[in-house]
Amino acid sequence: MASLGLALLLAALSALVMLPAARHLVSLRSGERAQATLHTSGACLAGQCQVRFEAGGRTVVADLPVGSGGGKSAVGTRLTVRYQPDNPRVVARQADVGGGGAAALTVLSGVASLFFLVLTIVAAVHLARRRRADRLR
């Protein structure tokens, strides 16, 4: 039962969190390009990084979305970003608009989910055969 629960949890992580994050990153592929500076560093993959850049003549400080890379970069690091022209606070690193770490985590958690699901099925079949053999004795 624990492996089934883990399989369902990983499937939910993949389908409900990481897949939408990867799609969001890809949606910014056609956004406006700008040179930015890493304003706040942290766990960028968890969405805890900020960048500062110029858009429409004003300075914007925006959060990088969940699934972004660059977590090991220091504050002040220069990078290229893509942003939505009508809302410059929606931004992603140029390097992440292909899906970034979110796409990789979607695949990894999906594969892990399948592994635990197969493990659950194998354990259930093994237990059923064992019970049947015990009844036949």
DSSP secondary structure string for all residues of 54-88 = EETTEEEEEEPPTT---TTPPTT-EEEEEEETTEE
d(CA 128, CA 61): 59
Per-residue CA distances from 89 to 59, 65, 84, 98 (Å): 11, 10, 8, 19
Locate the domains of the chain by residue range.
2-132
Residues 112-129: tens digit of each pLDDT: 999 999 999 999 999 999
Tokens standing for 8? 């369902």
Residue type, 86: D
Residues 15-73: tens digit of each pLDDT: 888 888 888 888 899 999 999 999 888 788 777 889 999 998 999 999 998 878 777 78
